[in-house]
Amino acid sequence: MSNQPPEIMDADDIRRALTRIAHEIIERNRGAENLVLVGILTRGVPLAGRLSDLIASIEGIKVPVGALDVTPHRDDRRDRGAQAADATDLPFPIDDKRIVLVDEVIYTGRTVRAAMDALMERGRPAVIQLGVLIDRGHRELPVRPDYVGKNVPTSHRERVTVRLREPDDEERVIIEKREAPKNG
């Protein structure tokens, strides 16, 4: 019996899921006009780049990609008064754009809420949609992704880990067990 955590997606599964999501984005938005992709740091950014490449190969339009740092907008920070450095890079105006926020995993919905706050601080998009590679459930806020690569039911004691070739030099999604909290 192996001690390796279960792999729920390999490189081919990830590629197929992103290809399907790209087609769904095009269909829902009736093309790629006025569309921008905004990846949530860290792994949402390379996923947004891949989706942009896929959309370009289908529609012949290169959709702009930005990076969004939600750290200053998180509600779980202890030092809420202190401003953290913001690594956001949106090289385009977002007013009246159709924005697809991209992240690797959605869990409680709090990251997405922080991302929407960060976007609204920078302008007024026409619409904000959400695309995720993995939806693991357990929402604490009324947030639902528009595009999902794979739904993966999990327990709170599990962690979904996405590894992408860009930052990690490997390509897979695994479920890991979290250690039980220590009492006392």
Domains and CATH numbers, the chain: 7-73+89-177 (3.40.50.2020)
Query: How much is the pLDDT for 64?
Result: 98
Contact 138, 156 (CB under 8 A): yes
Cβ(58)–Cβ(22) below 8 Å: yes
- How far apart are alpha carbons 145 and 164 in whole angstroms? 21
pLDDT at residue 82 tops 70 = no
> Mean pLDDT of all residues in the chain?
92
Q: What would the pLDDT profile of 1-11 be if each residue is shown by its tens digit?
A: 557 789 999 99
Q: Tens digits of per-residue pLDDT, 52-74?
A: 999 999 999 999 999 999 998 88
> Hunting for tokens 């956001």 — which residue is that?
88
123 Ramachandran zone, left/alpha/beta (phi>0; psi -120 to 50): left
Indicate the angle between helix axes 11-28 and 44-59, nearest 10 degrees: 60
Residue labelled with tokens 């949530």: 40
The pTM of this model reads 0.91
Encode pLDDT of 22-59 as tens digits.
999 999 999 999 999 999 999 999 999 999 999 999 99
pLDDT of 181 reads 57
Reported as type and span, the H/E element at residue 103 is strand 98-106
Tally of CB atoms within 10 A around 85: 8
Residue 131 has pLDDT above 60, yes or no: yes
Rounded Cα gap, residues 131 and 32, in angstroms = 15
Tokens matching residue 94:
């977002």
140-147 average pLDDT score: 97
Q: Would the pLDDT of 183 be above 60?
A: no
Residue type, 141: L
